[in-house]
Amino acid sequence: MDTIAHYSSPIGRITIAERDGLLAGLWFDGQRFDRSILSKYEEKNSPVLEEAERWLDIYFSGICPDFTPPLLLSGTPFRVKVLRTLLSIPYGATATYKDIANRLDMGKMAPQAVGNAVSHNPISIIVPCHRVVGADGSLTGYAGGLEKKEFLLSLEKREGGPLS
């Protein structure tokens, strides 16, 4: 059976999910997502969940972790491409939806499609959807809430230098 664990972060409790030895989900409690999937999980520790917790410990101490737990990136092929692109946004930096669409060499309507894909990111923080901002640099939607997005960007700014 797949497993979940809970992590206490400085900005709220986080649920971490593991499926088949891969990190499958990371959500702030209260964040909007399909909670019915949690009924498929057993609350129990696993090596992947421990690795994700270690990653979060390092991250919330204000340091960029030098590893990524093994990830299960799920969704449509397009969503998976977008999630992989999010992983390429450096710690302490930001990108716009248009930047991501351009990296994927997409057409004019692409920023909206990218926004939809980003909003369905199942692995918050580690797959850094919080690093995506509006075209004018403004903070835009974040499933965990804009105050959490602002906290995460500020945390990275202290360590990673100015946001770009």
Q: Which residue range is the domain that position 96 belongs to?
A: 77-160
64 catalytic, yes or no?
no
What is residue 91's predicted lDDT score, i.e. its pLDDT? 94
Output the domain CATH number for residue 18. Answer: 3.30.160
Domain count, the chain: 2
> CA–CA separation, 17 vs 11, rounded Å?
19
What is residue 162's predicted lDDT score, i.e. its pLDDT? 39
Burial of 33 from C-beta contacts in 10 A (0-12 / 13-18 / 19+): middle
List per-block mean pLDDT (blocks of 10 residues) for the chain, which spans 164 residues. Answer: 89 92 90 59 86 97 95 92 95 91 80 86 94 85 82 81 39
What is residue 112's predicted lDDT score, i.e. its pLDDT? 83
Q: Has this prediction a pTM greater than 0.75?
A: yes
Active-site residue, selected from the candidate residues 56, 123, 129, 133:
129
In a domain, 147, yes or no: yes
What is residue 39's predicted lDDT score, i.e. its pLDDT? 62
In a domain, 83, yes or no: yes
Residue 82 sits in the same domain as residue 19: no
Give me the long-range contacts of 108-111 (CB less than 8 A, separation at least 24): 111/135
What is residue 120's predicted lDDT score, i.e. its pLDDT? 87
In a domain, 33, yes or no: yes
Q: Which residue has the tokens 């248009």?
A: 98
